[in-house]
Structure 1
């Protein structure tokens, strides 16, 4: 995607990473910071891997007037499959190094020969409104092995295996998010979501409270994440995007978007 994407977008604040995210920076520089105070800053060309279930701020800067990047979500199901493959190759030294390493929520790797083309081939093969998180990639599909090749650039780094182990765990927050984003045009209630999870509303509230998050916050994150993806893709005008994200009026959608991301759509 070429910069500027959304009216000169330079920063994206409070973006909830719902699935593990591969981020390829072709031109420019990028700083990523999460709510835990961890940050990373790199110049192009490079590849980032971001852990799911964290809230980040992306700060992008032009270099010689250019910034160019692409992103690709990696679904929970795929991360489970990759974990099984990589875990079978794990040795004692990897585990010892992992135990001594502070948890890391994002990594970067240099773009080795062929990695950029591999990333682009996957991206073009699975492009969809949900940016691939709901696309099934068969185990024997070219994209499956290509994606595993890109992920392999990170698993041998300090903390890489711990990253994979966290990636295959799923929280109640994530389960709620996945239900809501499956149909944002629907007006979801806590009772409906609790029913989908085969639990009572009180149990759902209790589990979310233990994870220090509210139902309304998850709902907002799902709507805003979908909104910024649709705008980046040029999937419609403001009114159409507002409707696709479950808002009745464009003006209210614009106000919520601006309050959330600190930018105007």
Structure 2
């Protein structure tokens, strides 16, 4: 999954927030998140709600569903995010490997990991330096140094190490998500088709996904709805075509699913072009 897609669609998700709970947004890459204006409440996979303000930087692990509520105390909301690849996290892990020797992996990751800028104000400067380097497509070594510095402040934050473990490697659910996202039409969204592409039986795939605390139907829906969001922003594409691209024959049913998942008013998108 494109790291740019994850960053852009996350911003789209943020821009449509109100003070009501929204449905899940699936993170295909880990993110560092900084609120620059406003305040939000956020949780992962039905975990505890955490309030984030401009005084926090938050680490969100990949492969999880997040929900965000925008605070009604502020008129506007703006966030900055830095997507982090698995390779970047592996590099960080190797640099601090001695700290992880006696740490066990958690079965699930649903804690919000964040650090207070008031205690470590230098992190904010490094965060914005990293965002500039990413915009300039600078040397990866420079970006890695910035990210490693920021992440080092999370090492003793509760839940960070299991979140790091969960984000370093490509899981089966990552592969399923990508195959459905990059496919087109209903046949690309079936359990049997995806299992065959992964060279395993349908029952084995279901069992593997269950071991990762998810299901094929859940990952399929997230992948199709995230793709629909991206397509809805591209060249004013009509919803009839988007529905077909993400595997829905019934356009009305697709519109209901899309509105429910992203809380987007269907009237803002054309049915026909």
- TM-score tier by shorter-chain length is 0.7 to 0.9
- Residues 116-265 of structure 1 aligned to structure 2 (within 5 Å): 116-125=127-136, 140-181=140-181, 183-185=182-184, 187-188=187-188, 189-211=190-212, 213-228=214-229, 234-237=233-236, 239=238, 242=242, 246=246, 252-264=253-265
Verify the 8 A CA contact 1:26 1:46 in the aligned structure 2.
no
Structure (1/2) with the larger helix percentage: 2
Alpha-carbon offset, residue 195 of structure 1: 3.0
CA gap 1:226/1:124 in 2 versus in 1, 3 angstroms? farther
Q: Which residue of 1 aligns with 2:96?
A: 86
1:129 maps to what in 2?
Answer: none
Q: Which residue of 2 aligns with 1:133?
A: none
1:210 & 1:3 partners in 2: Cα distance?
29
Structure 1, unaligned runs of 5 or more: 127-136
Give 1:74 shift.
2.0
SS in 1 for 2:256: helix
Deviations, residues 213-255 of structure 1 (Å, cap 9, x unaligned): 4323211101223444566xx5443527936963568755432
Out of 3, 6, 26, the residue aligned to residue 16 of structure 2 is: 6
How far apart are residue 176 of structure 1 and its match? 1.2
Report how far residue 203 of structure 1 moved. Answer: 1.7
Compared CA separation, residues 222 and 164, structure 1 to 2 (3 A):
same
Provide the rounded CA distance (Å) in 2 between the counterparts of 1:242 and 1:86. Answer: 45
Q: Does the 8 Å contact 1:119/1:147 carry over to 2?
A: yes
Deviation, 1:20, is 1.8
Q: After TM superposition, give the deviation of residue 27 of structure 1 in Å.
A: 0.7
The residue number in structure 2 matching 1:65 is 75
In 1: Cα distance, 2:126 partner to 2:231 partner: 26
TM-score, length-normalised on structure 1?
A: 0.73
Q: Which runs of 5+ in 2 are unaligned?
A: 1-10, 267-273
Contact conserved, 1:27 with 1:69, CA < 8 A, in 2? Answer: yes
1:62 is displaced (CA, Å) by 5.1
Contact 2:113 2:159 in 1 (8 A): no
Higher strand share goes to which structure?
1
1:123 is displaced (CA, Å) by 4.7
Give the alignment's TM-score, normalised by structure 2: 0.71
Change over 3 Å in CA distance of 1:4–1:31 after alignment to 2: closer
> Which of residues 1, 25, 39 in structure 2 aligns to 1:15?
25
Match of 2:57 among 47, 52, 71: 47
Q: Give the aligned CA root-mean-square deviation in angstroms.
A: 3.7
Q: Which of 101, 107, 113 matches 1:107?
A: 113
| Superimposed CA distance per residue, residues 83-125 of structure 1 (whole angstroms, 9 cap, x where no aligned partner) | 112224x288xx58x89xx976321123434134224215524
- Once the two structures are superposed, residues 23-68 of structure 1 have per-residue CA deviations (whole angstroms, 9 ceiling, x without a partner) of 1210100111233432211221422111223222101125542211
Measure, in 2, the Cα distance between the counterparts of 1:22 and 1:109: 11
Aligned residue pairs total 245
Q: Residue by residue, what CA displacement relative to the aligned partner does 1:121-143 show, whole Å, maximum 9, x if unpaired?
A: 155246xxxxxxxxxx97x5322
Deviation string 1:170-226 (CA, Å, 9 cap, x unpaired) is 542233113323x14354133332233221223213323454543232111012234
